Every structure is written in C-alpha cells, then in structure tokens.
Structure 1
Amino acid sequence: MTESGTAKRRAAVALLLAMVLLGVFPLDVVLPSFPALSSHFNRSTSDIAFSVSLFAVGISLSQLLIGPLSDTLGRKGLLLAGMLISILGGIGCVLVSDFTWFLFFRCIQAIGCGSFVLTQALVQDLFVGKARDQLRILMITASGVFISVSPLAGTLLQQAFDWPGSFWVFVALATMVFIKALFFLENSLPLPHPSRTLVQSYRLVCRDSIFIGYWLISGLAFACHFSFIVMSPLLFLQHLQLSPYAFSLVLLLYGLAYLCGGVVAQMLSRRIQARAQINVGTLMIVFAGVLMLLFSSLLGLSILGVLLPMIVCTAGTTVARPIATSRAMDVFPEYAGTAASIGGMLVFVCGGGISALVNLSRFDLQTTLAVCFMVLGAAMLGLHALINRRQTKRRAE
C-alpha cells in the first residue's frame, strides 16, 4: 500500500471510530446527570428516563429511513445532514428551559444520530476482505470500551460542567466529525444496483435467511453485553452496595475485557476461518454462563462471581459479533445502507427485548444472567448451523 493509501486508510479509521464514540454520548454519558436534569426541569427521574426511551425510539426509526436512502443518494450528503441535525438538537437541549421543548430537541438529536447507522455501510464501501473484518473488530472493541468508560466520564462532566456538559462535549465532537467527513469523504455513490423503492429494498434483504441469520447472531451476542450493562447498576449499586465511583471503576475493568477480546479476535481472524471464529466466540459465551452459574451456587453474589464470567462473555462477544456482522453485510454489498439499517434494528430489538426479559425474571439476577448467556449461546450455535446448512445447499444448487 502506498503512503497516500495508508494515510487515507488511517483517516477513514479515525472518522469511523469518532462516529462510534459519538454514539455513546447521547445515551450512556448522560446517565449520571439524571438527578441534575430532574432538578433543573422539576420533573421526576422517570420523566427523564422517558426522554432516553424517546431518544432510542427516534434513532431506531431514523436509521430505518437513512440507510436505504444512502443506497441511492450516497453516504456523504446524508451523513453530513444527520450530523448537522444532531448538533442543532444537542444545542437546543441545553438552551431550552421547558421540559416539553427539551423532549422535542432530544427527538431532533435522535433523528440526526440515526446517520450513525452509516458507519457499517462506510466500512463496506471503503474496505475489503480481512481489512474489513479487522476494522469491525476494532469498532466493536472501541464501542465496548467507550461504553465502559462512559459512567466515569459522565460523572466527571457532571461535576465539572453540570448536566449541559455532556451535551456540549457531544456538540464539539460532532462538529469535528462533521468537518472531518466534509473534507475526507468523496461524493461517490455506492455500488450500482437495480432501482428499487424503499419497501422493495427492505423486502429483498429481509427475505434472505442467511442475511437475517448472521444479523441475529450479532444481535444475540450484543444482547449478552447489553443485558449486563442494564443490570449492572442493580447488581453493583443496589445489591453489592458499591459507591458510584467504585461502580465506575468496575466498569473500567469490564472495558478491559473488550480490549482483550479485540486482541484475541484480531489474532483469530488471521489464523482461522470466519465460521470457526464465530463458533469459538459463541462457546466462550456459553462457558461464561456456566462459570457464572457455578460462582452463584458456590459463593453467592460477589464482584468476582459477576465480573470474571462477564469478562469471558465479553471476550466471546468481541470474537463472534464482528465476523457475524461482516458476513451479514457481505450478502448485499450493493444495498449496504439498507442492510445496515435492518441489522441495526435487529441488534436493537435483541438487546432491548432480552434485557427487558432478564429484568422481569423472578430469579436472582446473577442466575438469570448465567442462564441467559447459556440459552443465547445455544441459540447462536443453532443459527450458525442452520446458516452453514443453507449455504451448502445454495452452493449445491
């Protein structure tokens, strides 16, 4: 690769990682500011939590439109428009004094953040082969680290700048990403494909069982991580009585698991086939469930009994999920925007739905998480076997 090609590749990686970081701020970094937001707007914490739910709904609906449009209009214009809208929404959230207007601008911010779905499409456009797989490993590793660090970052921003701090940092980062994308990305269109309406594009990709199967594997792997993140305040703050600062440090250790998983995934991607890598990561998730169940029965609820199995589970997630995502996106490279939107929705539904079921369980949370990992891991192995059988049948035809 030439020096200019290497520099361009590094610039693309930097842009994509910055977009991954931006995806953390609107949801995760703002969580420590719930009490301050509640006091500022004179609303209950449940109302503030509703604003987060509203944001999640807005971003999921927005990406369902942005992805397919990018297949026909190109990525750059939609990404820049989305970034600009998210910046305006973030500024509006800080400047208004009425909670209704705050909700309105959070929705505006969410609509703009829907453009982050284009990260997967841009990876598909700008990289090929092993480089594409390795970049997705890096992005998922970075995402996990950012999420793990976010409670501590949110706490520090809250102490230094009050609740507007996370919004102003988001605006500053989004502005830098906007400028970077404006000068770096080209106005080229994605791969040519037959003209189809939005509904026709969705119908095409959703009817492919291999595409859906790989995205479900990615979504189930993500659900393991997301269920822990959602349950972690109850486990560590409520049941184990850790201080918020100690809880933040625990999540930093959890972030190290993403780094370790990313290193292992990078090594495996160079030595074994994608099929074997997915199986290895999935078996690690199942083993984490067995390990957590063993700790629960022998030691009861403890930091070690939760954190050590989660490190194993997270490493498995980082090994299996990026490759499953890459294989899903490879099915329809000419419809990368549509494929990324469908995949993002499936991952969001898996993470939200399964974490809600875990929360509703009548058993203790540690046992519930352990069983969840084993069941989800078994489901991933079953899906992967069905995909392999389907691929063998297609090649025979």
Structure 2
Amino acid sequence: MLRPATTPPHLITLIFATALSVVTLNLFLPGLPAIAEEFDASYATVSLSLSGYFLVTAVVQLFAGPLSDRYGRRPVILGGLALFFVASVGCLRAESIESFLFWRVLQAAVASGAALSMAVVRDTVPEREAARRIGLIGMAMALGPMVAPLIGGLLGEAFGWRASFALYAALGFGLLLLVWADLGETNGSRGRPLREQMADYPRLLRDGRFWGYAATSALSLCCVFVVMLGAPTLGEAESLSQGAVGLALAVTPVGYIVGTGATTRLARHFPGPRLILLGRFISMGGMVLALVLAVTGVPLALYFGCFAAIGIGNGLTLPAAYSGAMSVRPELAGSAASLVSALNVIVGAVVTAAAGAMPAVISDRAGLALVLVLICTGALAAGLFTRRIVARTATA
C-alpha cells in the first residue's frame, strides 16, 4: 500500500505533472474529425473542446494558486489529478457531443499541476536555483507539443479516437499515485482564509515587478501561439505538405529545449532580468532576420529555421520570468504562479484571435514575420521595464 509522502518531491514528479497538462492540450487533436463524424457534429462545434479547455484552464489557474496557498500544494494537485482522471473516463464513455464537451473542459483541472509545480520549486529552493529547475520542467512543455499529436494520431488510426482518452485516464491515474507517494507538502505558510487569498491578487497586480515579469512571459508566449497559427496558414499558401508544416512547427520547440538547457547552466551565475533580456534579444534578432529573408526570397526552410530563435529566447526568458514573478512576494508564490499562467492564456487568446482575423497577413512570409517582430518588440520592452524596476526596487 502506498504511503502519503511527507518530503518535497523529486524533480521528475514535477516534470511529469507539467507534461501531462501540456499533452492534454493536443494529444487528441488528430481525432477531431472522427469525433465530429461519430457525434454528427460540425467541426466548429467539436473545436470547442479546445477553446473551452483554454477558458476553463484560465479559471483553474486563477483559483488553484490561492487554494494552494490556503490549503497546501499537495491537496490541490491531488484534487486536480483526481478530477482529470474522472473527466478522462467521462470523455472515453461519452455518448453525445454535449457529454463529451462537458467532460473535456473538466480535463482542464490538470492545469493546476503545471502552475503549482513551479510554486513547489519556488517553495523549496532559492530564486536562481528555481529558475534552473523551472527550465528543466520547461523542457517537458517543449517536448509535449512535439510528440503528443503523433502519438494521438497513431492511437487513433489503430484503435479510434477514444484511445487517446483511455491513455489520458491511464496517465492521470498513474500520476495521481506518483504524486501521492512522492509529493509532500512544501507550503509552510498556509492557513489564511480563501477570501484573503483571493485578495492577494490586487496586491500582486499593484506591484510593478510582477507586471514586468507577467507581461514579458505573456508576450513571449504569444510568439509561439502566432507561429502555431501562422505556420499552417503560410504552409497552405506555399503548397507545403502536412508533414512539412509539422516539421516547421517542430522548429520552435527544438529551440526551446536548447534555451532551457542553457538556462540550467546560466541561471546559477546570472540574475533573472539579465537572462530575460538575453532571451528577448535572441528572439528579436531571429525575427528581424526572418523578415529580411522573407523580403529577399530565400528558400522557405531557411525562413522557418529562424523560428528556432523564438524557442531559444523563450527557453531563457520564461523560467526566469516565472521564478521572478513568484519571488515578488514569496508568501504568495502559488497565487503568483497561477495568475501569471492565467494571464498567459488570456493574452495569448486575444493576440491569436487578432492574428487569426488577418489571414492575408499571416499567410504571407513578410506579413507573418512582421507580426512576430512587433510582438517581440513588446516583449523586449517588457523585459527592459522589468530590469529597470527590479533594479530600482533593490536600491530603494
């Protein structure tokens, strides 16, 4: 019989918790047409399984942090995994599109694992070491989008679309047991009522350092969302095969792995704001180069290769931004992690919707590169603001 853990978890447990939240997003996507066909629903209706998931994810992340600061990281993560397991079984056994969508959006409960994994890291190690470990966790966020759709597609071809949700249920149950046995409570300052915890959000939002870190994180991730939207559109305009588009989409995650690998080495020697700026300059340089290549008409492979700079830059920026946001008020680390994650989703959804409303722009090489340059400019400005206000606060 498994005994509940009483000590901080191994890093691999936090990596698995983060990875599950990522693969839940897109593992099943190759089966969307089959789901629409079986339930006699339009593709637009079935696609609510993605947009609805995003919406509930934002809500979960907003409440998971205060709940974990009040009751502890362990019970909130365990509760989220238990609900995820039940929701996965519900999707597996769904007999109507309404039932399927209901259970699908409840799978967003697993999102608490990603945000709170970072809070657990911040609970247990100093800020610079936290950035290094969050960088390692971030590798799971890069590998997931690369391999999950491939696995889902193979499962769907062999066993049907429900096989993806059977895998979800198995992974959720297995991780639930792992967290129960390995993740002891790490939040030593819990105890305040939930209403007071929710009141912490205004305290964070009034702190300029938090806004700097959060804005940098959100705008950096927007580049990834726009690439995910723009690469298929541009690929269609350029008559690329689905396989070629898939390779183009894999460039950014590969770059992210390189960036997070560098973070694990650099975070011990350089402060967070410096890593953030290094990442922002790399991303900006890559997108300016992409714009130049788009105008000069070089082969498309070289153009897409520039997108690796987005991944490398984010691999340097995001761990430091998350760690910094949670360090603004260490006693509110869970609330900060959840709020940053929710803002990432909300800002990403707005920017993606705006880019999607301009198909003629993002289906053009120069147009897509220009949009990315503009977003990178905003992220760089946020990074410069962060460095300035952190330095000013330190000398105050």
TM-score when scaled to structure 1? Answer: 0.90
User: Which residue in 2 is equivalent to 1:373?
Assistant: 372
**Residue 84 of structure 1: CA displacement?**
0.6
User: Which residue in 2 is equivalent to 1:3?
Assistant: none
- Whether 1:209 and 2:239 are equivalent positions in the alignment is no
1:31-80, CA deviations, whole angstroms, 9 ceiling, x for partnerless residues? 11111111111111111111211111112112211210110101111111
- Whether 1:247 and 2:245 are equivalent positions in the alignment is yes
**Residues in 1 aligned to 2:106 and 2:383: alpha-carbon distance in whole angstroms:** 38
**Residue 111 of structure 1: CA displacement?**
3.5
User: Which residue in 2 is equivalent to 1:220?
Assistant: 219
1:77-135, CA deviations, whole angstroms, 9 ceiling, x for partnerless residues? 11111111111001101102111111111132223544443122112123334331111
**Contact 2:355/2:362 (8 A) holds in 1:** no
Which amino acid in 2 is paired with 1:322? P
**Residues in 2 aligned to 1:276 and 1:328: alpha-carbon distance in whole angstroms:** 15
User: Which residue in 1 is equivalent to 2:287?
Assistant: 289
**Residues in 2 aligned to 1:314 and 1:189: alpha-carbon distance in whole angstroms:** 32
1:265-288, CA deviations, whole angstroms, 9 ceiling, x for partnerless residues? 333324433332211110111111
**Residues in 1 aligned to 2:298 and 2:165: alpha-carbon distance in whole angstroms:** 40
Corresponding residue pairs, total:
387
**Against the structure 1 CA distance between its residues 271 and 334, is the aligned structure 2 distance closer, same or farther, given a 3 Å change threshold?**
closer
User: 257-266 vs 317-326, which deviates more?
Assistant: 257-266
**Against the structure 1 CA distance between its residues 249 and 330, is the aligned structure 2 distance closer, same or farther, given a 3 Å change threshold?**
same
**Which of the pair is proportionally richer in helix?**
1
User: Which residue in 2 is equivalent to 1:269?
Assistant: 267
User: 326-335 vs 379-388, which deviates more?
Assistant: 379-388
**Contact 2:76/2:112 (8 A) holds in 1:** no
**Contact 1:86/1:113 (8 A) holds in 2:** no
**Residues in 2 aligned to 1:147 and 1:268: alpha-carbon distance in whole angstroms:** 25
Matched ranges for 1:119-158 at <5 A = 119-158=117-156
Which amino acid in 1 is paired with 2:257? L
User: Which residue in 2 is equivalent to 1:199?
Assistant: 198
Q: Secondary structure at the match of 2:332?
A: helix
Percent identity reads 26
User: 209-218 vs 377-386, which deviates more?
Assistant: 377-386
**Contact 1:89/1:108 (8 A) holds in 2:** yes
Q: Secondary structure at the match of 1:186?
A: coil
Structure 2: gaps of 5 or more residues: 1-6
**Residues in 1 aligned to 2:14 and 2:263: alpha-carbon distance in whole angstroms:** 19
**Residue 192 of structure 1: CA displacement?**
5.1
**Residues in 2 aligned to 1:98 and 1:192: alpha-carbon distance in whole angstroms:** 42
User: 387-396 vs 324-333, which deviates more?
Assistant: 387-396
**Residues in 2 aligned to 1:391 and 1:257: alpha-carbon distance in whole angstroms:** 28
User: Which residue in 2 is equivalent to 1:352?
Assistant: 349
**Residues in 2 aligned to 1:16 and 1:66: alpha-carbon distance in whole angstroms:** 16
User: 262-271 vs 134-143, which deviates more?
Assistant: 262-271
1:321-354, CA deviations, whole angstroms, 9 ceiling, x for partnerless residues? 2112111111121111211111011111222222
Q: Secondary structure at the match of 1:363?
A: helix
Which amino acid in 2 is paired with 1:340? A
User: Which residue in 2 is equivalent to 1:343?
Assistant: 340
**Contact 1:262/1:315 (8 A) holds in 2:** yes
**Against the structure 1 CA distance between its residues 13 and 369, is the aligned structure 2 distance closer, same or farther, given a 3 Å change threshold?**
farther
**Contact 1:269/1:277 (8 A) holds in 2:** yes
- Whether 1:318 and 2:321 are equivalent positions in the alignment is no
Q: Secondary structure at the match of 1:272?
A: coil
**Contact 1:137/1:262 (8 A) holds in 2:** yes
**Residues in 2 aligned to 1:120 and 1:360: alpha-carbon distance in whole angstroms:** 34
1:205-252, CA deviations, whole angstroms, 9 ceiling, x for partnerless residues? 11111112111101111111121112222223x223333344334444
**Contact 1:258/1:318 (8 A) holds in 2:** yes
User: 377-386 vs 325-334, which deviates more?
Assistant: 377-386
Which amino acid in 2 is paired with 1:345? A
**Against the structure 1 CA distance between its residues 201 and 231, is the aligned structure 2 distance closer, same or farther, given a 3 Å change threshold?**
same
TM-score when scaled to structure 2? Answer: 0.90
User: Which residue in 1 is equivalent to 2:4?
Assistant: none
**Against the structure 1 CA distance between its residues 246 and 385, is the aligned structure 2 distance closer, same or farther, given a 3 Å change threshold?**
closer
User: Which residue in 2 is equivalent to 1:5?
Assistant: none
Of 23, 26, 29, the residue aligned with 1:25 is: 23
C-alpha RMSD over aligned residues = 2.2
**Residues in 2 aligned to 1:189 and 1:266: alpha-carbon distance in whole angstroms:** 24
**Residues in 2 aligned to 1:378 and 1:248: alpha-carbon distance in whole angstroms:** 27
1:337-394, CA deviations, whole angstroms, 9 ceiling, x for partnerless residues? 2111110111112222222222223424332332233222322332233333333443
Which amino acid in 2 is paired with 1:354? V
User: Which residue in 2 is equivalent to 1:327?
Assistant: 324
**Residues in 2 aligned to 1:152 and 1:246: alpha-carbon distance in whole angstroms:** 14
**Residue 254 of structure 1: CA displacement?**
4.0
**Against the structure 1 CA distance between its residues 225 and 242, is the aligned structure 2 distance closer, same or farther, given a 3 Å change threshold?**
same
Structure 1: gaps of 5 or more residues: 1-7
**Residues in 2 aligned to 1:356 and 1:256: alpha-carbon distance in whole angstroms:** 25
